[in-house]
């Protein structure tokens, strides 16, 4: 067979791909400025909503917030800012993204964005109900409430403009997989693949609701390398005594995350095609996190599989307390507690998102 037989076809594919990328860049360059950012999901984007609901999933106490301005424990599950805080600051919207339930948030603040997210929540309502946190439906009802306040303040037309040009961030799924598959009896009742598909139907329905409400710029975060979360590393080492003193990622959980992310990418592409005038994009958080784990020195990190709070093995939320010992230099840690990234890690994730994703919004 002539080895050059497939070259014209391959060149045609490359040219088509380049034209599509140029088209995307052209469309992005002519897009109206981003007006606001609204976040839905779990602790990765919860700025402190859980402070105002009766749940154990709270972080409005030291040592959380030790790197935040004035060392405030705001309810963010980190030592400082979240990725969404860095993003709104980079976009020039506001210094940080506030929690919707924070009483200090005024109607005018809603025009540039808030977080409706709730730590301990997920795409599956059972996840939030088990942790007594806000379900996605409840977060949605607060969003509708916020729309009403905005319309009362600036009118329907201006509110519609703000929502149309706002960026919506959805970040959830990790708690679903941990609570309902890996560390729960449900894991023996349903296959990982089937449960992933179930979660993606939840994503699809939520995006459809956002679209019908006027949102057009929607980003959906994929799963992190769940098997590398310090708490999952610890639980695996307990179950496998031979590796107890050798902390390693649980690879089959990371494999599951990669499969889910591939499915999510296909879904976001399908939604963008189906929902006219929308940009529904996949937000890759797996790649920057796994790169920090594999190449810590590149980021000035020294510890990647243990949290800064307490022993770094299991402590999170109510177990990470004011009297808990913390590491000397949190900027050298990928995780602040046994589940949640440090401010340093969130700054890397936000830079990755701003570089790889936001030019296309």
Nearest Cα to Cα of residue 351 among 69, 47, 90: 90
Rounded distance between C-alpha atoms, residue 282 and residue 332, angstroms:
28
- Please work out, in degrees rounded to the nearest 5, the angle formed at the alpha carbon of residue 349 by the alpha carbons of 105 and 302: 120
3-class secondary-structure state, position 115: strand
Catalytic sites, residue numbers? 43, 337, 340
Residue 277 in tokens:
């005038």
Rounded distance between C-alpha atoms, residue 226 and residue 250, angstroms:
8
DSSP line for 248-314:
---HHHHHHHHHHHHHHHHHHHHHHHHSTT-EEEEE--HHHHHHHHH-GGGGT-SEEEEESBTTSSS
Q: Tokens 């034209």, residue?
A: 19
In Å, how far from its chain's centre is CA 296? 21
Rounded distance between C-alpha atoms, residue 87 and residue 346, angstroms:
10
- C-alpha atoms less than 13 angstroms from C-alpha of 319 in its C-beta half-sphere: 15
Are 45 and 349 spatial neighbours (Cβ–Cβ below 8 Å)? no
Rounded distance between C-alpha atoms, residue 88 and residue 113, angstroms:
8
Those residues with Cβ within 8 angstroms of residue 300's Cβ, 6 or more apart along the chain or in another chain: 331, 332, 344
Neighbouring-strand partners of residue 281: 219
């Amino acid at each position: 067979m002539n080895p050059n037989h497939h070259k014209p076809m391959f060149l045609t594919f490359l040219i088509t791909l380049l034209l599509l990328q140029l088209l995307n860049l052209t469309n992005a360059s002519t897009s109206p400025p981003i007006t606001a950012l609204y976040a839905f999901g779990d602790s990765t984007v919860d700025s402190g909503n859980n402070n105002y609901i009766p749940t154990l999933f709270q972080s409005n106490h030291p040592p959380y917030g030790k790197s935040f301005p004035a060392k405030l424990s705001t309810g963010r599950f980190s030592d400082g800012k979240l990725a969404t805080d860095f993003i709104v600051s980079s976009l020039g919207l506001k210094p940080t993204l506030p929690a919707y339930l924070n009483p200090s948030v005024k109607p005018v603040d809603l025009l540039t964005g808030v977080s409706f997210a709730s730590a301990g929540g997920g795409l599956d309502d059972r996840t939030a109900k088990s942790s007594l946190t806000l379900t996605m439906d409840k977060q949605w009802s607060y969003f509708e409430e916020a729309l009403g306040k905005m319309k009362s303040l600036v009118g329907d037309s201006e509110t519609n403009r703000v929502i149309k040009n706002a960026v919506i961030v959805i970040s959830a799924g990790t708690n679903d997989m941990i609570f309902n598959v890996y560390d729960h009896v449900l894991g023996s009742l349903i296959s990982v693949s089937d449960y992933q598909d179930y979660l993606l139907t939840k994503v699809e329905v939520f995006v459809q609701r956002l679209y019908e409400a006027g949102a057009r710029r929607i980003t959906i975060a994929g799963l992190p390398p769940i098997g590398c979360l310090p708490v999952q590393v610890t639980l695996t080492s307990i179950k496998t005594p031979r590796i107890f003193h050798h902390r390693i990622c649980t690879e089959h959980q990371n494999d599951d995350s990669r499969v889910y992310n591939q499915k999510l990418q296909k879904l976001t592409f399908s939604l963008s095609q189906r929902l006219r005038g929308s940009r529904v994009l996949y937000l890759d958080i797996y790649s920057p996190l796994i790169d920090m784990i594999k190449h810590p020195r590149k980021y000035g990190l020294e510890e990647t599989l243990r949290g800064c709070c307490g022993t770094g093995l299991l402590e999170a939320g109510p177990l990470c307390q004011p009297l808990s010992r913390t590491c000397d230099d949190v900027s050298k840690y990928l995780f602040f507690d046994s589940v949640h990234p440090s401010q340093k890690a969130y700054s890397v994730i936000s830079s990755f998102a701003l570089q790889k994703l936001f030019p296309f919004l």
